[in-house]
Amino acid sequence: MADFNCSGHVATGFEPVKAAFEANFEAGHELGAGVCVRIDGNTVVDLLGGWRDRQKTQPWDADTLVPVYSTTKPIAALVLAAVIDRLPAGYETPVAEIWPAFAAHGKDRITIAELAAHQAGLPGFPDAIDPALWLDAGACAEALAALPPLWPPGTAHGYHPLSWGYLIGAVVKLIDGRSLGTCLREMFTGPSHSDFRIGTPAAEHGRIAEMMRPRALPDLGEINAATRAAFLTPWASADRNAKRWREIEIPSANGHGTAAAVAHLFDTYASAGVLDGRQVVPPAIFSALTETRALGQDLVLPYVTEFACGVMRNNLGLYGPNPDTLCHSGWGGSMALADPERRLSMAYVMNRQSNSLQGDPRARALIDSVYQCL
């Protein structure tokens, strides 16, 4: 007898998605998980299964929140897009124009677009810091701004796994006056009733699933100074299980929500900046948000990556057949995608983490099953 429960909604014709979802559990690859698929703003799949805790005493239900790690980034990028038109030059504004301290060590010409597209050369701290610095968002942003870049700005790109969120969060606050998490709540999730937040108050912590970390490190390819600063030093991150880590805003890594909420927010990418009938990102800004800014060998990840302003483009074909799909994965396997051609959005979240950087086999099976139904 299966030791997992599966519940939710599957529209007629999408039964293969449920079969793929259940197969992940039957193969022993899941503890708890959720998957949601929306087309034209309508939910066609919303499935939940498994357990919130390792002891399998708390079923995963519609109220279960889970950290989605770097799948947070494209949602934070939507917030930046929603405020960027307050700057006359938009994404082409030099960061130092609104944040003078950022100009240190020759970074005065780095634009907001380059920062958002992982081109600034600040993937982490090369030299030792107290890891607790990551738990003080403002101080951490200032410390990152004071660093010299690890490569000449604008000449290459390398994934900024954690630092990206502190820097983009600082930029949003300088533009708008509100924190990025507050903007997200007041401009996106509040009006749309989406169960997602960046900065999760203690009152919600009882809903958060217990994570099972991967047993092996991901394959990071050839290790260089940028990879080491991003991932491999003892100070490369703070304790991700700490109450403080959940509560502060880390727009690169600590979004908490449900698969349904993430897929709902990704409707914005599937519908050219429209969410629930509201044009939350103006058309010209949406075009600037989603155009390719960096394409080539990543200096941090062992891939050729393609970045727009905070969201990835599907250059490797890991997120379905459309190369124009906008997408991102998070540590351990979560992922979200938006296929604008089919006006399709999709999210997968889970609490048993794998060591896949992207293209987790569980997510790939679900994505393949969705496209099989179209």
Q: 217 falls in which pLDDT band (50, 70, 90)?
A: confident
Average pLDDT, the chain: 96
Give the pTM.
Answer: 0.97
Q: What is the pLDDT of residues 46-70, one digit of tens each?
A: 999 999 999 999 999 999 999 999 9
**Residue 209, SS3 per DSSP:** coil
* 8 Å CB contact between 352 and 212: yes
User: What domains appear along the chain, each with residue ranges and CATH number?
Assistant: 6-373 (3.40.710.10)
User: For residue 76, what are its two tokens?
Assistant: 């934070």
Q: What is the pLDDT of residue 154?
A: 85
Q: Which of 311, 68, 79 is nearest to 180 (CA)?
A: 79
What φ, ψ does residue 304 adopt, rounded to 5°?
Answer: -85, 120
Name the one residue in this structure whose structure tokens are 């491999």: 232
Percent of the chain with pLDDT over 90: 95
Buried b (16+ CB within 10 A) or exposed e, 167-178: bbbbbbbebbeb
Q: Which percentage of the chain shows pLDDT scores above 70?
A: 99
Cβ-based neighbour number of residue 110 at 10 Å:
21
Whether 283 contacts 289, CB under 8 Å: no
- Concatenating the DSSP letter of every residue in 224-274 gives -HHHIIIIISTTSS--TTSHHHHHS--TTT-EEE-HHHHHHHHHHHHTTTE
Residue 1: pLDDT above 60?
Answer: no
Four-CA torsion 117, 85, 195, 339, nearest 10 degrees: -60
By C-alpha distance, which of 330, 359, 317 is closest to 76?
Answer: 330
pLDDT value at position 2?
59
Query: Rounded to whole angstroms, how far apart are CA atoms 209 and 247?
Result: 15
- pLDDT of residue 193 exceeding 90, the answer is yes
**Positive or negative CA dihedral for 50, 56, 61, 64?**
negative
Alpha helices in the chain (DSSP H): 15-26, 73-83, 95-98, 112-116, 137-145, 163-176, 180-184, 190-192, 225-227, 243-247, 259-270, 283-290, 361-373
> What gap in Å lies between CA 262 and CA 193, rounded to an integer?
12
User: Sheet harboring 6-10: ordered strands across?
Assistant: 6-10, 42-50, 32-39, 344-350, 335-339, 326-329, 312-313, 304-307, 294-297
* Predicted pLDDT of residue 241: 77
Distance between CA 73 and CA 161 in Å, rounded?
Answer: 9
Task: Give phi and psi for 206, each to the nearest 5.
Answer: -65, -15
Contact 341, 323 (CB under 8 A): no
The tens digit of pLDDT for each residue in 18-33 reads 999 999 999 999 999 9
Question: What mean pLDDT is predicted for residues 145-172?
Answer: 97
User: Residues 239-264: pLDDT tens digits?
Assistant: 887 899 999 999 999 999 999 999 99
Tokens 């393949």 label which residue?
A: 368
Helix (H) or strand (E) holding 56: none
The pLDDT of residue 38 is 98
Please answer whether residues 362 and 333 qualify as being in contact, where contact means their C-beta atoms are separated by less than 8 angstroms.
yes
CB 127 within 8 A of CB 173: no
pLDDT digits (tens, 9 = 90+) for 310-365: 999 999 999 999 999 999 999 999 999 999 999 999 999 999 999 999 999 999 99
- Whether the pLDDT of residue 100 is over 50: the answer is yes
- In the chain, the N- to C-terminal Cα span, in Å, equals 32
